[in-house]
Amino acid sequence: METTKITGKRIKEYLEKGKRFDGRKPEEFREISVETDVSNKAEGSARVKIGKTEVIVGVKLNVTEPYPDSPDKGNLMVTSELLPLSSGRFEYGPPRFPAIELGRLIDRAIRESKFIQLEKLCIKEGEKVWGVFIDIYSINDEGNLIDAAALGAVIALKTARLPKYDEKNEKIVYGELTDKKVPVSEEIPVVITTHKIGKGIIVDPTIEEEDVSEARITIGGSVEGSLFSIQKGNSKEITAEEMNKILDISEKTRKKVFSSIEKYLK
């Protein structure tokens, strides 16, 4: 933990009065900005900033064998890398837990919401399907990479188009994108992470707030009112009442965040 104890204590004292270091209210999100097509070799890509936090998400497609348990569906794979460039805290080497978890959290929100219509990505049952790779890279970690990564993944998917596939030679012609979009559904999964710190419950944490977080609840859901994925993190318990409050806060936040990125999803 790199945030000092005394800072942690101060964060809690502030939150008891409903205040945060950067002047935000507990349920206030930082400004979100989005840019698409940030890498022209990717079939779809997006850059998402939440305040100073920044991620880049790219979508690559290939033609591959389906998984044995879903012979008539495309493959989905989400991975994330926390680049040493994005924070003095990250080091090179095999992925550690935070990177693994980030990939899995986004994977589950997208998979469980059935946002990608994987059944439409089957070319020949049992033999050939499209594989969708969503790769997440942190560019600057100032807290809340999870929510940023999920927005990036959804927007990158929304912009992604299938490359040309040469049936005869069984080869993809990368660089020649077709008009065909990656088939996605109308219902958009939005991931909101809530933290309990002392007596306060906040959304969109800064890195200091993440350091002193006692319980973290990540919820993937849609503005239509479905919840697709939940994961509790960190080692303090929460009561059922707190959970209910978190559900309400995250629902409100989901609607706000969705409306601020809606224009990129058209």
Partner 1 sequence: MAKKEFKRPDGRKPDELRPMQAKVGVVPNADGSALFSFGDTIAIAAVYGPKKMHPQHQQDPEKGTLRCNYSMLSFSVDDRIRPGPNRRSTEISKITEWALEPSLLIKRYPNMVIDVHINIIQANASTRCAGINAAAMALAHAGIPMKNIVSSVSIGKLDKSLVVDLDKDEEDWEEGEGSTDIPITMTPNGEITHIQLDGRITKEQLKEVIELARKSTKKVYEVQKKALKESVKL
One-letter identity of residue 100: I
Question: Which parts of 76-105 interact with partner 1 (CB under 8 A)?
Answer: 97, 100-101, 103-104
Residue closer to partner 1, measured from CB, 50 or 197: 197
Q: How far apart are CA 29 and CA 26, in angstroms?
A: 9
**Helices in 113-217 by DSSP H: which ranges?**
145-159, 207-212
CB-nearer residue toward partner 1: 186 or 237: 237
Task: Return the H-helix or E-strand segment holding 201.
Answer: strand 200-203
Residues 185-224, mask of contacts with partner 1 (x by CB under 8 A): --------------------------------x-------
- The answer to whether residue 169 forms part of the interface with partner 1 (CB under 8 A) is no
Distance from the Cα of residue 220 to its chain's centroid: 9
108 touches partner 1 by CB under 8 A: yes
**DSSP of 35-62:** EE---TTSSEEEEEEETTEEEEEEEEEE
| Six-digit token string for 11 | 């964060």
Contact pick of 23, 68, 88, 93 for partner 1 (by CB under 8 A): 68
Name the residue nearer to partner 1 (CB basis): 243 or 265: 243
Binder among 45, 53, 86, 113 for partner 1 (CB under 8 A):
113
- Total chain residues near partner 1 (CB under 8 A): 31
